[in-house]
Copies of this chain bind each other. A is one copy, B any other.
Amino acid sequence: MTKTTNRPTTKRSSRAAPAVPAPAAPVIEEREPRGARRKRETRARLLDAALRLMAEKGMEGVAINEITEAADVGFGSFYNHFESKEAIYATLVDNVFEEFANMLDRLAGGITDPAEVVAVSVRHTVLRARHDPVWGRFLIREGFSARAMSRGLGQRLLRDIGNGIAAKRFVVADPFIGFLAVGGTVLSAIAAELNFVAPGASAAGVLKELGFSGEHFPERTAAMLLQTLGLKRAEAEKIAARPLPVVDEAVEEN
């Protein structure tokens, strides 16, 4: 699962269809009554539509009938699956970030250096946003919520920073501000990736005008964060450039 390679995680998330690993799927579906399958599919369509709409406009900016129209299901069906707009949003946050955070945990499970754990997690997060801009936009919106410190990716980041401090690998005079700095930089990097760095980004020209380059962007972000956490520049850059553990596609996909 954590086999090492230099290939980015491109493959996994760029595929359009949410494929279930081929051998397992038929077995489940054959046993599943037709109604249950349709219900599951409707729920998935609602979640998919809500994610796209809420990534673009935020939870407050989306009406339930917009979700049902985009999902091509009847308005009333919404309430067979979710109690409210807040409920579908909460489910999305869980699905989208808890699962990704779990994947990062599995990925980093074999890494003993807390600095490399942070570097690998940050690089994977930026790459995921590159390959799945809707996910990235949703993360930017949710990242500054009051929940961000006690759940999902924020909670893991806080834990990983704490581990590094406990192991005396990180030197952070002010852990609260250190967490805000690292979290804010990741969100800012994702916004920059979507706006400026990605090929075809709407404002890619701005970067060039300013004389900046978007090369090796995830690695440079990780190197900066490790310096924020107290590592010297040379070591931070070395760790940030290490081969990235590969994501097990069957595990990450959800």
Q: Which of B62, B187, B210 contacts A149 (CB 8 A)?
A: B210
* Bound CA–CA A145/B192 (angstroms): 9
Q: Are A196 and B144 in contact (CB under 8 A)?
A: no
Q: Which of B62, B147, B188, B196 contacts A184 (CB 8 A)?
A: B188
Q: Which of A19-27, A86-94, A109-117, A169-177 lies at the interface?
A: A169-177
Query: For chain A residues 137-155, which have a beta carbon within 8 Å of chain B?
Result: 140, 144-147, 149-150
A102 within 8 A of B: no
- Give every chain B residue within 8 A of A50 (Cβ-Cβ): none
Q: Are A144 and B56 in contact (CB under 8 A)?
A: no
* Bound CA–CA A224/B183 (angstroms): 13
Query: For chain A residues 180-217, which have a beta carbon within 8 Å of chain B?
Result: 180-181, 183-189, 191-192, 195-196, 201-203, 206-207, 210, 212-213
A118 within 8 A of B: no
A125 within 8 A of B: no
Q: Which of B175, B206, B221 contacts A180 (CB 8 A)?
A: B221
Contacts A61-B61, A181-B224 given; 18 further ones with Cβ under 8 A? A56-B60, A57-B60, A61-B62, A140-B144, A144-B195, A145-B195, A146-B195, A146-B201, A149-B196, A173-B233, A174-B224, A176-B210, A176-B213, A177-B221, A180-B192, A181-B188, A184-B186, A184-B189
Number of copies: 2
- Give every chain B residue within 8 A of A202 (Cβ-Cβ): 146
A67 within 8 A of B: no
- Give every chain B residue within 8 A of A192 (Cβ-Cβ): 180
A101 within 8 A of B: no
Chain A residue total in the interface (Cβ 8 A)? 49
Chain B residue nearest to A234 (CB atoms) is: B173
A133 within 8 A of B: no
* A173 shortest CB reach to chain B, Å: 6
Q: Mark A119-162, 1 if CB is under 8 A from B, else 0.
A: 00000000000000000000010001111011000000010000
A223 within 8 A of B: yes
Chain B residue nearest to A204 (CB atoms) is: B146
* Bound CA–CA A213/B176 (angstroms): 8
* A50 shortest CB reach to chain B, Å: 14
- Give every chain B residue within 8 A of A175 (Cβ-Cβ): 212
* Bound CA–CA A220/B203 (angstroms): 33
